[in-house]
Structure 1
Amino acid sequence: MSATRRPLLGRITIGILAVGASLSLSACGQLPLLPPALTGGAEVSPEPVETSETPETPAPEPVESEEPAGASDTDVFNVGLGDCLNEMTQNTDDQISEVPIIDCAEPHDYEVYHVEDIAESGDYPGDTAVQEAANTICLDAFDAWVGMAYAESGIDYTPLYPVEEGWNLGDREVLCLAYDMAGQVEGTLAGAAY
Protein backbone atom coordinates (compact mmCIF):
# COMPACT_ATOMS: atom_id res chain seq x y z
CA MET A 1 0.00 0.00 0.00
CA SER A 2 1.51 3.31 -1.01
CA ALA A 3 2.09 6.13 1.43
CA THR A 4 -0.57 8.22 -0.32
CA ARG A 5 -3.30 5.78 0.62
CA ARG A 6 -4.45 5.97 4.19
CA PRO A 7 -6.20 2.90 5.61
CA LEU A 8 -9.59 3.21 7.23
CA LEU A 9 -9.44 2.37 10.88
CA GLY A 10 -11.48 0.56 13.49
CA ARG A 11 -15.10 0.10 14.31
CA ILE A 12 -17.32 1.42 17.11
CA THR A 13 -21.09 1.38 17.53
CA ILE A 14 -22.96 4.69 17.66
CA GLY A 15 -26.74 4.99 18.05
CA ILE A 16 -28.87 7.21 15.90
CA LEU A 17 -31.56 9.49 17.29
CA ALA A 18 -34.52 10.32 15.07
CA VAL A 19 -36.61 13.39 15.64
CA GLY A 20 -40.14 13.95 14.25
CA ALA A 21 -42.18 17.07 13.65
CA SER A 22 -45.77 17.90 12.72
CA LEU A 23 -47.37 20.58 10.59
CA SER A 24 -50.90 21.98 10.69
CA LEU A 25 -52.64 24.03 8.02
CA SER A 26 -55.70 26.28 8.13
CA ALA A 27 -57.67 28.09 5.43
CA CYS A 28 -59.99 31.06 5.42
CA GLY A 29 -61.65 33.12 2.66
CA GLN A 30 -62.88 36.67 1.95
CA LEU A 31 -66.42 37.73 1.21
CA PRO A 32 -66.90 39.86 -1.92
CA LEU A 33 -68.05 43.49 -1.52
CA LEU A 34 -70.86 44.86 -3.73
CA PRO A 35 -70.39 48.25 -5.40
CA PRO A 36 -72.65 51.13 -4.11
CA ALA A 37 -74.70 51.14 -7.35
CA LEU A 38 -76.06 47.70 -6.54
CA THR A 39 -77.07 48.60 -2.99
CA GLY A 40 -79.62 51.36 -3.79
CA GLY A 41 -77.13 54.22 -4.17
CA ALA A 42 -76.16 54.37 -0.52
CA GLU A 43 -72.91 53.09 0.70
CA VAL A 44 -73.60 50.24 3.01
CA SER A 45 -70.99 48.15 4.65
CA PRO A 46 -71.59 44.50 4.22
CA GLU A 47 -72.43 42.65 7.35
CA PRO A 48 -70.21 39.75 8.22
CA VAL A 49 -71.73 36.42 7.46
CA GLU A 50 -70.67 33.43 9.48
CA THR A 51 -70.59 30.06 7.84
CA SER A 52 -70.37 26.77 9.61
CA GLU A 53 -68.49 25.12 6.77
CA THR A 54 -64.83 25.58 6.19
CA PRO A 55 -63.57 25.06 2.67
CA GLU A 56 -61.97 21.68 2.17
CA THR A 57 -58.40 21.70 1.00
CA PRO A 58 -57.62 18.63 -1.05
CA ALA A 59 -54.76 16.55 0.29
CA PRO A 60 -51.66 16.76 -1.85
CA GLU A 61 -51.08 13.67 -3.93
CA PRO A 62 -47.83 11.81 -3.31
CA VAL A 63 -45.18 12.59 -5.88
CA GLU A 64 -42.75 9.88 -6.86
CA SER A 65 -39.20 11.14 -6.84
CA GLU A 66 -37.01 10.19 -9.77
CA GLU A 67 -33.87 10.98 -7.78
CA PRO A 68 -32.00 8.12 -6.10
CA ALA A 69 -32.76 7.46 -2.46
CA GLY A 70 -29.12 8.08 -1.63
CA ALA A 71 -26.91 6.61 1.01
CA SER A 72 -28.13 5.62 4.43
CA ASP A 73 -25.82 5.46 7.43
CA THR A 74 -25.40 1.92 8.69
CA ASP A 75 -23.51 0.50 11.65
CA VAL A 76 -20.14 -0.75 10.37
CA PHE A 77 -20.83 -4.18 11.88
CA ASN A 78 -23.81 -4.56 9.50
CA VAL A 79 -21.75 -4.14 6.33
CA GLY A 80 -21.22 -7.26 4.27
CA LEU A 81 -19.91 -8.71 1.04
CA GLY A 82 -21.27 -6.90 -2.03
CA ASP A 83 -22.35 -3.75 -0.18
CA CYS A 84 -21.49 -0.41 -1.79
CA LEU A 85 -20.53 2.64 0.24
CA ASN A 86 -19.85 6.31 -0.15
CA GLU A 87 -16.99 8.25 1.44
CA MET A 88 -16.75 7.48 5.15
CA THR A 89 -16.05 9.94 7.94
CA GLN A 90 -13.62 9.04 10.69
CA ASN A 91 -14.41 10.17 14.21
CA THR A 92 -11.93 12.00 16.44
CA ASP A 93 -10.18 8.70 17.26
CA ASP A 94 -9.59 7.96 13.53
CA GLN A 95 -12.16 5.17 13.77
CA ILE A 96 -15.15 4.36 11.59
CA SER A 97 -18.41 3.56 13.36
CA GLU A 98 -21.02 4.17 10.64
CA VAL A 99 -20.78 3.94 6.89
CA PRO A 100 -23.07 5.35 4.19
CA ILE A 101 -24.38 2.27 2.33
CA ILE A 102 -25.87 2.96 -1.11
CA ASP A 103 -27.40 0.86 -3.87
CA CYS A 104 -24.56 -0.32 -6.12
CA ALA A 105 -26.51 0.85 -9.20
CA GLU A 106 -26.08 4.44 -7.94
CA PRO A 107 -22.76 6.31 -8.09
CA HIS A 108 -20.62 5.13 -5.16
CA ASP A 109 -17.05 5.25 -3.88
CA TYR A 110 -16.40 1.74 -2.51
CA GLU A 111 -17.57 -1.84 -2.91
CA VAL A 112 -16.97 -4.60 -0.35
CA TYR A 113 -15.30 -7.33 -2.41
CA HIS A 114 -14.00 -9.63 0.32
CA VAL A 115 -14.70 -10.35 4.00
CA GLU A 116 -12.39 -12.49 6.12
CA ASP A 117 -11.31 -12.81 9.73
CA ILE A 118 -7.69 -12.33 10.77
CA ALA A 119 -6.55 -15.82 11.82
CA GLU A 120 -4.50 -14.58 14.76
CA SER A 121 -5.97 -15.06 18.22
CA GLY A 122 -4.89 -13.94 21.66
CA ASP A 123 -3.89 -10.45 22.74
CA TYR A 124 -3.99 -7.51 20.38
CA PRO A 125 -0.81 -7.75 18.29
CA GLY A 126 -0.57 -4.00 17.66
CA ASP A 127 -1.76 -1.59 14.98
CA THR A 128 1.01 -2.43 12.49
CA ALA A 129 0.49 -6.21 12.71
CA VAL A 130 -3.31 -5.88 12.28
CA GLN A 131 -2.89 -3.48 9.33
CA GLU A 132 -0.38 -5.82 7.63
CA ALA A 133 -2.68 -8.83 8.13
CA ALA A 134 -5.62 -6.86 6.68
CA ASN A 135 -3.57 -5.75 3.65
CA THR A 136 -2.46 -9.34 2.99
CA ILE A 137 -6.06 -10.59 3.15
CA CYS A 138 -7.30 -7.91 0.73
CA LEU A 139 -4.40 -8.20 -1.70
CA ASP A 140 -4.71 -12.01 -1.86
CA ALA A 141 -8.39 -11.71 -2.87
CA PHE A 142 -7.99 -8.74 -5.25
CA ASP A 143 -6.67 -10.27 -8.52
CA ALA A 144 -9.31 -13.00 -8.78
CA TRP A 145 -12.16 -10.60 -7.96
CA VAL A 146 -11.16 -7.75 -10.31
CA GLY A 147 -9.89 -10.07 -13.04
CA MET A 148 -6.37 -8.72 -13.36
CA ALA A 149 -3.22 -8.16 -11.33
CA TYR A 150 -3.37 -5.45 -8.67
CA ALA A 151 -0.13 -3.81 -9.90
CA GLU A 152 -1.67 -3.24 -13.38
CA SER A 153 -5.18 -2.23 -12.30
CA GLY A 154 -6.83 1.18 -12.19
CA ILE A 155 -8.78 -0.16 -9.24
CA ASP A 156 -7.34 0.07 -5.75
CA TYR A 157 -8.39 -1.27 -2.36
CA THR A 158 -8.40 -0.24 1.25
CA PRO A 159 -9.06 -2.49 4.25
CA LEU A 160 -11.43 -1.74 7.10
CA TYR A 161 -10.16 -3.65 10.14
CA PRO A 162 -10.67 -3.83 13.94
CA VAL A 163 -8.99 -1.54 16.44
CA GLU A 164 -7.71 -2.74 19.79
CA GLU A 165 -11.00 -2.20 21.62
CA GLY A 166 -12.89 -4.33 19.10
CA TRP A 167 -10.13 -6.94 19.01
CA ASN A 168 -10.37 -7.38 22.77
CA LEU A 169 -14.10 -8.01 22.34
CA GLY A 170 -13.44 -10.73 19.74
CA ASP A 171 -13.66 -8.74 16.50
CA ARG A 172 -11.23 -10.07 13.86
CA GLU A 173 -13.19 -9.18 10.70
CA VAL A 174 -11.54 -7.39 7.78
CA LEU A 175 -13.67 -5.75 5.08
CA CYS A 176 -11.83 -5.26 1.78
CA LEU A 177 -13.14 -2.22 -0.11
CA ALA A 178 -12.40 -1.74 -3.82
CA TYR A 179 -12.55 1.67 -5.46
CA ASP A 180 -11.82 3.18 -8.86
CA MET A 181 -8.92 5.61 -8.59
CA ALA A 182 -10.62 7.81 -11.25
CA GLY A 183 -13.68 8.44 -9.04
CA GLN A 184 -17.18 7.12 -8.38
CA VAL A 185 -18.61 4.21 -10.36
CA GLU A 186 -22.06 2.76 -11.00
CA GLY A 187 -22.51 -0.99 -10.74
CA THR A 188 -20.01 -3.56 -9.54
CA LEU A 189 -16.27 -3.61 -10.13
CA ALA A 190 -16.25 -7.43 -9.98
CA GLY A 191 -14.52 -8.71 -13.13
CA ALA A 192 -13.90 -5.15 -14.36
CA ALA A 193 -10.36 -6.12 -15.45
CA TYR A 194 -8.96 -2.60 -15.81
Structure 2
Amino acid sequence: MSATRRPLLGRITLGILAVGASLSLSACGQLPLLPPALTGGEEISPEPVETTETSEAPADPVETETQEPAGASDTDVFNIGLGDCLNEMETNTDEQISEVPIIDCSEPHDYEVYHVEDVPDSGAYPGEDAILESADTICRDAFDAWVGTPWAESGIDYTQLYPVEEGWDLGDREVLCLAYDMAGQATGTLEGAGY
Protein backbone atom coordinates (compact mmCIF):
# COMPACT_ATOMS: atom_id res chain seq x y z
CA MET A 1 0.00 0.00 0.00
CA SER A 2 1.41 3.36 -0.88
CA ALA A 3 1.94 6.06 1.70
CA THR A 4 -0.50 8.37 -0.06
CA ARG A 5 -3.47 6.04 0.30
CA ARG A 6 -5.40 5.99 3.55
CA PRO A 7 -6.74 2.73 4.92
CA LEU A 8 -10.54 2.28 4.82
CA LEU A 9 -10.81 2.86 8.58
CA GLY A 10 -9.16 6.25 8.14
CA ARG A 11 -11.65 7.15 5.42
CA ILE A 12 -14.62 6.12 7.60
CA THR A 13 -13.28 8.09 10.55
CA LEU A 14 -12.80 11.17 8.40
CA GLY A 15 -16.35 10.79 7.05
CA ILE A 16 -17.82 10.64 10.56
CA LEU A 17 -15.79 13.66 11.65
CA ALA A 18 -17.01 15.59 8.61
CA VAL A 19 -20.67 14.78 9.37
CA GLY A 20 -20.18 15.72 13.03
CA ALA A 21 -18.54 19.00 12.06
CA SER A 22 -21.37 19.92 9.71
CA LEU A 23 -23.97 19.11 12.41
CA SER A 24 -22.17 21.18 14.98
CA LEU A 25 -21.85 24.06 12.54
CA SER A 26 -25.57 24.00 11.80
CA ALA A 27 -26.30 24.14 15.56
CA CYS A 28 -24.33 27.35 15.92
CA GLY A 29 -27.07 29.45 14.30
CA GLN A 30 -30.49 30.20 15.78
CA LEU A 31 -31.65 28.10 18.75
CA PRO A 32 -34.08 25.39 17.85
CA LEU A 33 -37.77 25.87 18.72
CA LEU A 34 -38.78 24.31 22.00
CA PRO A 35 -42.23 22.93 22.68
CA PRO A 36 -44.45 25.23 24.85
CA ALA A 37 -44.18 22.90 27.86
CA LEU A 38 -40.46 23.56 28.06
CA THR A 39 -40.72 27.32 27.69
CA GLY A 40 -42.96 28.04 30.67
CA GLY A 41 -46.21 27.70 28.76
CA GLU A 42 -45.63 30.56 26.39
CA GLU A 43 -45.32 29.94 22.76
CA ILE A 44 -42.30 31.57 21.35
CA SER A 45 -42.40 32.27 17.70
CA PRO A 46 -39.18 32.16 15.86
CA GLU A 47 -37.49 35.33 14.88
CA PRO A 48 -37.45 35.95 11.18
CA VAL A 49 -34.11 35.34 9.59
CA GLU A 50 -33.02 37.33 6.61
CA THR A 51 -31.64 35.29 3.81
CA THR A 52 -29.98 36.68 0.81
CA GLU A 53 -29.87 34.70 -2.32
CA THR A 54 -26.58 34.76 -4.01
CA SER A 55 -26.07 33.58 -7.45
CA GLU A 56 -22.61 32.50 -8.24
CA ALA A 57 -21.14 34.05 -11.30
CA PRO A 58 -20.34 31.45 -13.89
CA ALA A 59 -16.82 30.22 -13.63
CA ASP A 60 -14.39 31.57 -16.13
CA PRO A 61 -13.77 29.07 -18.89
CA VAL A 62 -10.79 26.94 -18.19
CA GLU A 63 -8.09 27.43 -20.74
CA THR A 64 -6.54 24.20 -21.84
CA GLU A 65 -3.03 24.16 -23.06
CA THR A 66 -2.52 22.87 -26.54
CA GLN A 67 -0.24 19.88 -26.36
CA GLU A 68 2.85 20.31 -28.45
CA PRO A 69 3.95 17.16 -30.25
CA ALA A 70 6.18 15.14 -27.99
CA GLY A 71 8.73 14.39 -30.70
CA ALA A 72 10.88 11.32 -30.96
CA SER A 73 12.38 9.58 -27.95
CA ASP A 74 15.26 7.12 -28.13
CA THR A 75 14.16 3.57 -27.39
CA ASP A 76 16.10 0.32 -27.26
CA VAL A 77 15.76 -1.44 -30.62
CA PHE A 78 14.44 -4.54 -28.83
CA ASN A 79 11.47 -2.55 -27.47
CA ILE A 80 9.90 -1.62 -30.81
CA GLY A 81 7.18 -3.66 -32.46
CA LEU A 82 4.40 -3.83 -34.99
CA GLY A 83 2.74 -0.46 -35.63
CA ASP A 84 5.52 1.65 -34.10
CA CYS A 85 6.77 4.67 -36.04
CA LEU A 86 10.39 5.77 -36.10
CA ASN A 87 12.58 8.55 -37.38
CA GLU A 88 15.92 8.18 -39.12
CA MET A 89 18.25 5.96 -37.11
CA GLU A 90 21.92 6.41 -36.42
CA THR A 91 24.24 3.44 -36.65
CA ASN A 92 27.19 2.94 -34.36
CA THR A 93 30.76 2.41 -35.59
CA ASP A 94 30.01 -1.26 -36.42
CA GLU A 95 27.04 -0.22 -38.62
CA GLN A 96 24.71 -1.62 -35.96
CA ILE A 97 21.63 -0.01 -34.47
CA SER A 98 21.04 -0.23 -30.74
CA GLU A 99 18.56 2.64 -30.20
CA VAL A 100 15.86 4.03 -32.44
CA PRO A 101 13.99 7.35 -32.24
CA ILE A 102 10.40 6.16 -31.74
CA ILE A 103 7.64 8.73 -32.39
CA ASP A 104 3.85 8.84 -32.33
CA CYS A 105 2.55 7.89 -35.79
CA SER A 106 0.32 10.99 -35.85
CA GLU A 107 3.48 13.09 -36.04
CA PRO A 108 5.69 13.28 -39.15
CA HIS A 109 7.92 10.20 -39.20
CA ASP A 110 10.31 8.36 -41.50
CA TYR A 111 9.39 4.70 -40.94
CA GLU A 112 6.52 2.51 -39.76
CA VAL A 113 6.93 -1.09 -38.61
CA TYR A 114 4.48 -3.00 -40.80
CA HIS A 115 5.54 -6.61 -40.24
CA VAL A 116 7.45 -8.60 -37.61
CA GLU A 117 8.62 -12.17 -38.13
CA ASP A 118 11.42 -14.44 -36.93
CA VAL A 119 14.08 -15.71 -39.32
CA PRO A 120 14.12 -19.51 -39.28
CA ASP A 121 16.68 -20.73 -36.77
CA SER A 122 19.32 -22.80 -38.51
CA GLY A 123 21.65 -23.16 -35.54
CA ALA A 124 24.78 -21.07 -35.97
CA TYR A 125 24.60 -17.56 -37.38
CA PRO A 126 24.21 -18.02 -41.15
CA GLY A 127 26.05 -14.82 -42.02
CA GLU A 128 24.82 -11.31 -42.75
CA ASP A 129 24.14 -11.93 -46.45
CA ALA A 130 21.92 -14.94 -45.71
CA ILE A 131 20.08 -13.08 -42.95
CA LEU A 132 19.58 -10.05 -45.21
CA GLU A 133 18.20 -12.28 -47.98
CA SER A 134 15.76 -13.95 -45.55
CA ALA A 135 14.72 -10.57 -44.12
CA ASP A 136 14.15 -9.17 -47.62
CA THR A 137 11.93 -12.13 -48.54
CA ILE A 138 9.93 -11.77 -45.31
CA CYS A 139 9.34 -8.05 -45.80
CA ARG A 140 8.66 -8.26 -49.54
CA ASP A 141 6.05 -11.01 -49.03
CA ALA A 142 4.15 -8.90 -46.47
CA PHE A 143 4.41 -5.58 -48.35
CA ASP A 144 1.75 -5.76 -51.11
CA ALA A 145 -1.14 -6.77 -48.87
CA TRP A 146 -0.24 -4.20 -46.19
CA VAL A 147 0.18 -1.20 -48.53
CA GLY A 148 -2.59 -2.25 -50.90
CA THR A 149 -0.59 -1.99 -54.11
CA PRO A 150 2.22 -4.08 -55.62
CA TRP A 151 5.69 -3.08 -54.45
CA ALA A 152 6.98 -2.50 -58.00
CA GLU A 153 4.23 0.11 -58.60
CA SER A 154 4.28 1.74 -55.16
CA GLY A 155 5.57 5.12 -54.02
CA ILE A 156 6.29 3.39 -50.72
CA ASP A 157 9.37 1.26 -50.19
CA TYR A 158 10.68 -0.85 -47.33
CA THR A 159 13.81 -1.64 -45.43
CA GLN A 160 14.42 -3.98 -42.53
CA LEU A 161 16.11 -4.37 -39.20
CA TYR A 162 17.58 -7.85 -38.77
CA PRO A 163 19.71 -9.71 -36.22
CA VAL A 164 23.48 -9.34 -36.25
CA GLU A 165 25.77 -12.11 -35.04
CA GLU A 166 26.04 -10.78 -31.46
CA GLY A 167 22.23 -10.63 -31.18
CA TRP A 168 21.87 -14.06 -32.80
CA ASP A 169 24.12 -15.54 -30.12
CA LEU A 170 21.76 -14.06 -27.52
CA GLY A 171 18.67 -15.55 -29.19
CA ASP A 172 17.56 -12.66 -31.44
CA ARG A 173 15.85 -13.98 -34.60
CA GLU A 174 13.41 -11.10 -35.19
CA VAL A 175 13.13 -9.18 -38.45
CA LEU A 176 11.32 -5.82 -38.36
CA CYS A 177 9.97 -4.63 -41.72
CA LEU A 178 9.86 -0.83 -42.03
CA ALA A 179 7.78 0.97 -44.67
CA TYR A 180 8.66 4.50 -45.75
CA ASP A 181 7.22 7.00 -48.21
CA MET A 182 9.79 7.73 -50.93
CA ALA A 183 8.45 11.31 -51.19
CA GLY A 184 9.43 12.14 -47.60
CA GLN A 185 8.05 11.87 -44.07
CA ALA A 186 4.55 10.49 -43.56
CA THR A 187 1.94 11.54 -41.03
CA GLY A 188 -0.37 8.74 -39.90
CA THR A 189 -0.15 5.16 -41.03
CA LEU A 190 0.85 4.00 -44.49
CA GLU A 191 -1.25 0.87 -44.12
CA GLY A 192 -3.66 0.62 -47.03
CA ALA A 193 -2.19 3.76 -48.66
CA GLY A 194 -2.62 2.15 -52.08
CA TYR A 195 0.08 4.09 -53.91
Instruction: State the TM-score, normalized to the length of structure 1.
Output: 0.66
Aligned length: 133
State the partner residue of 2:80.
79
State the partner residue of 1:105.
106
Supply the AA of the counterpart residue of 1:153.
Answer: S
Residues of 1 paired with 2:86 and 2:114: CA distance?
12
Please, which runs of 5 or more residues in structure 1 have no aligned partner? 1-62
State the partner residue of 1:175.
176
SS at match of 1:134: helix
State the partner residue of 2:4.
none
SS at match of 1:179: strand
Q: Offset of 1:73 from its aligned partner?
A: 0.5
1:114-151 deviation line (CA, Å, top 9, x unaligned): 00000132000111000000000000000000001000
After TM superposition, list the pairs within 5 Å mapping 1:64-143 onto structure 2.
Answer: 64=65, 66-143=67-144
Residues of 2 paired with 1:66 and 1:76: CA distance?
27
State the partner residue of 1:12.
none
RMSD value over aligned CA atoms? Answer: 1.4
Q: Identify which of structures 1 and 2 has the higher relative contact order when contacts are C-alpha pairs closer than 8 Å and 6+ apart.
A: 1
Q: Offset of 1:66 from its aligned partner?
A: 4.0
State the partner residue of 2:166.
165
1:45-94 deviation line (CA, Å, top 9, x unaligned): xxxxxxxxxxxxxxxxxx94542110010000000000000000001110
Residues of 1 paired with 2:159 and 2:109: CA distance?
15
Q: Offset of 1:111 from its aligned partner?
A: 0.1
Please, which runs of 5 or more residues in structure 2 have no aligned partner? 1-63
Residues of 1 paired with 2:161 and 2:147: CA distance?
18
Residues of 1 paired with 2:125 and 2:136: CA distance?
17
- The farther-off stretch of 137-146 and 117-126 is 117-126
After TM superposition, list the pairs within 5 Å mapping 1:16-31 onto structure 2.
Answer: none
SS at match of 1:108: coil
Supply the AA of the counterpart residue of 1:161.
Answer: Y
Larger radius of gyration: 2
Supply the AA of the counterpart residue of 1:80.
Answer: G
Which has more helix, going by share of residues? 2
SS at match of 1:101: strand
